[in-house]
Amino acid sequence: METQTSTDTLFGRFKVTGKKATRDGFGTGLHHVGATNENAVALCADLLGSLKMDDFVRDWPERFIQTGISEANMMGIAAGLATAGKIPFTGTFANFSTGRVYDQIRQSIAYSDKNVKICASHAGLTLGEDGATHQILEDIGLMKMLPGMTVINPCDANQTHAATVAIADHQGPVYLRFGRPSWPVFIPADEPFVIGKALPIKRGEAVSIFATGHLVWQAMEAVQILETQGISCELINIHTIKPLDEAAIIESVSRTGCAVSCEEHNRLGGLGDSIAQTLARHRPAPQEYVAVDDTFGESGKPEELLVKYGLAPMDIVHAVHNAIKRKS
Amino acid sequence: MSQIAELQRTASQVRRDIVRMVSQAKSGHPGGSLGCTDFLTALYFHTMDRQPGFSMEGKGEDMFFLSNGHISPVWYSVLARSGYFPISELGTFRHINSRLQGHPTTHEHLPGVRVASGSLGQGMSVAIGAALSKRMDGDNHLVYCLTGDGELQEGQVWEAALFAAHNQVDNLIVTVDWNGQQIDGSTDHVLSLGDLPAKWSAFGWDVLHMQGNDIADVVRVLDQAKDHAGKGKPVVILMKTEMGAGVDFMMGSHKWHGVAPNAEQTETALAQLAETLGDY
């Protein structure tokens, strides 16, 4: 995760400008929404600091609801607020935002068409030392299966900020997934965020790499290595897993002939499966998955975990080689 | 005619609707529906301040949330009889392509319904959210919620109870249908609720008692509950009802919780319920 100057030329306008956690981008995005939309209401289940919601609470205490450690109740209250015309943003860890409250989300929010924004931090392995109880790797699958749910997993702090602002103007339930660790920032602060629209990071010819969340940076590191090996890579950031930008995926794979998907999630049910379904239905092509291989995580440093569970840049490099081999 | 007599006439018709809907659908939940008929009739025809038509946001009017969604027949009947949708639509209950799903939903855009319910324990939380919204907006109207007693076995209910007391959500009136029955038997047999008044009191709620199948008492206690609102505590009405109230062979047992009467039983039941406003 060291910032390298070569990324500054290889990826055009996507230049590393520093390091910040994606949850910091949520905090500033939420504050922006609070300032610009008086219907925005924030809820938190005893994790204010972790979710970076302090600035919102300081400036609009009357629009903040502390629910204590009762996530099911928080989801229900959010549904009630949305019924009455508010735009509630719920904040807790990804595990407690999804698996713990799945039926509340399913019935009171998704099936009831409520305009609730479920904002989830500490997703995936990069939560680190807290271990598998908190490292949810199934949340994208859980949420994308709910009819009407929009699922977004931004890749850096700037994109998380922009996504937080964008979902306030989107009518309907949204799952916004972000994380804990400090991470390279490379999306320009003024880059527009369009829900459901893939963001090309780099054009290339030999392979289409589709990455989401923290794994976009891992993919950028992998692409640097691959380019030195003479492999021309296309890298596309799929920040919105649902609705999926199928046209962008089909268009890219039609040129490159193979795909690699990269995500901090179980191999089952995540971005990779969404892409595989798209390709199977519209443009069959070899695809390799860079994802957690249907297992739970464990305690450790984020960088150590990414290596141990097969999400490191070298894993992406190998996946690209395999995908290209399978083209013939 | 006195107001109470008027409500009794309406309740009789609602009970006929329930029996006919469940019978025609050959499924549904007549027991709890009949038990809550007097309450919902009084709530909609006497207590709530409602705007004409239906708006999801419910601004400038009282709002109601049904948490125990399986008693949809009584709610659908009361909604239709209150003018939210044509009473003829009651005949579509539980049929394909109907807005009257087995359990209530907003998904089919049925006027009067603001959230899906059926999976138990969620309605109070939703009602709290609506009540908080009214408070933020300076809207002095009230939010009502009905839950079952077996439903109190769901943990989320007590999360909501803690929250409402802590945050002084005093524009919320929750009613518990305390009929002591659930699918597998009496609540005492399945999972005892213990001393309910003491429990709600200990959670910081203002506790009222109601005889839910005496419509005069329902009206009286609902009026009382409105007086108790706005005084710093959420209000709960512990409403004693008889599952199946109004149909003799459905009373005094949990057996009619979720079973439809056959043709002969339907005849027997309808013979006990006067057609006062015209069947759908």
ipTM of the complex: 0.97
Each domain of chain A, given as residue ranges in start order, spans 6-17+193-325, 19-185
Q: What is the mean pLDDT of residues A68-97?
A: 98
Does B163 sit within 8 Å of A72, measured CB to CB?
no
Residues of A in contact with B123 (CB under 8 A): 76
pLDDT of residue A7: 58
Structure-block tokens of residue A150: 């929009």
Share of chain A above pLDDT 70, in %: 98
Domain range B3-271, CATH class: alpha beta
Measured between CB atoms, does B126 come within 8 Å of chain A? Answer: yes
Residue range A286-302: mean pLDDT, rounded: 98
Shortest distance between the Cα of A173 and any Cα of chain B, in A, equals 14
* 3-state secondary structure (DSSP) of residue B21: helix
Q: How far apart are CA A2 and CA A6, in angstroms?
A: 11
Chain A residues closer than 8 Å to B127 by CB? 80
Residue with tokens 């609470």: A57
Which of B63, B107, B122 is nearest residue A76 as measured by Cβ atoms? B122
pLDDT at B126: 98
B57 vs A84: CB contact, 8 Å cut-off?
Answer: yes
B105 in contact with chain A, both atoms CB, cutoff 8 A: yes
> What pLDDT score does A9 carry?
81
Output the pLDDT for position B154: 98
In this complex, the residue of A73, A78, A108 whose CB is nearest that of residue B163 is A73
Q: Which among A267, A50, A244 is positioned nearest to A137, based on CA atoms?
A: A267
* pLDDT at residue number A6: 56
User: A294 at the B interface (CB within 8 A)?
Assistant: no
Residue B19 in 3-state DSSP? helix
Q: Tell me the one-letter amino acid at B247.
A: V
Chain B hits for A63, Cβ within 8 Å: 136
Q: A6-17+193-325: which CATH number, 3.20.20.140, 3.40.50.920, 3.40.50.10800, 1.10.1060.10?
A: 3.40.50.920
Quick check: B136 and A70 CB within 8 A? no
- For range B209-216, the mean pLDDT: 98
How confident is the model over A161-165, as a mean pLDDT?
98
What is the C-alpha to C-alpha distance for residues A263 and A319, in angstroms, rounded to an integer? 13
Chain A CB contacts of B107 under 8 Å are: 111-113
- B5 in contact with A at a CB cutoff of 8 Å? no
User: Is B108 at the interface with chain A, CB within 8 A?
Assistant: no
Contact with chain A for residue B138, Cβ under 8 A: no
- Options 3.40.50.620, 1.10.1240.10, 3.40.50.720, 3.40.50.970; CATH of A19-185: 3.40.50.970
Give residue B252's pLDDT band: very low, low, confident or very high (50, 70, 90). Answer: confident
Shortest Cα distance, chain A CAs vs residue B193, angstroms = 20
Q: Does B171 touch chain A (CB under 8 A)?
A: no
Q: Does A62 touch chain B (CB under 8 A)?
A: yes
Quote the pLDDT of residue A4: 47
What does the pLDDT read at residue A33? 98
Q: In what order do the strands lie in the sheet with A233-237?
A: A199-202, A233-237, A207-211, A259-266, A287-292
Name the band, by pLDDT with cuts 50, 70 and 90, for residue A215.
Answer: very high
DSSP 8-state secondary structure symbol assigned to residue B259: -
Q: What is the mean pLDDT of residues B229-241?
A: 98
Identify from A77, A90, A100, A111 which residue to disrupt to test chain B contact, counting B C-beta atoms within 10 A and taking the largest count.
A77
Exposure string of A89-125, with b = 16+ CB inside 10 Å and e = fewer, is bbbbbbbbbbebbbebbbbbbbbbbbbbbbbbbbbbb
Residue A70 and residue B159: Cβ atoms within 8 Å? yes
Q: Using an 8 Å CB-CB cutoff, list chain A residues near B62.
A: none
What residues in B contact A67, CB-CB < 8 Å?
Answer: 159, 163
Contact check, Cβ <8 Å, B132/A80? yes
User: How far does A30 lie from chain B, in Å, by closest CA?
Assistant: 19
- Catalytic residue ranges of A: 71
Mutate to test the interface with B, among A62, A69, A73, A117 (most CBs of B within 10 A): A73
Confidence band (pLDDT; 50, 70, 90) for B254? confident
- pLDDT at residue A3 greater than cutoff 50: no
pLDDT at position B118 over 70: yes
Contacts of A106 in chain B (CB under 8 A): 119
A114·B57 Cβ contact <8 A: no
Q: What is the pLDDT of residue A5?
A: 46
pLDDT at A328 over 80: no
**Residue type at A191?**
E
The vertex-A95 CA angle with A268 and B125, nearest 5°, equals 125
Quick check: B125 and A85 CB within 8 A? no
pTM flag (> 0.90): yes
Q: Which residues of B touch A68 (CB under 8 A)?
A: 162-163, 166
**Pairing status of strand A240-242 against strand A207-211:** unpaired
Higher pLDDT: A4 or A307? It is A307
Q: Please tell me the distance in Å from A306's CA to the nearest CA on chain B.
A: 36
pLDDT at B179: 96
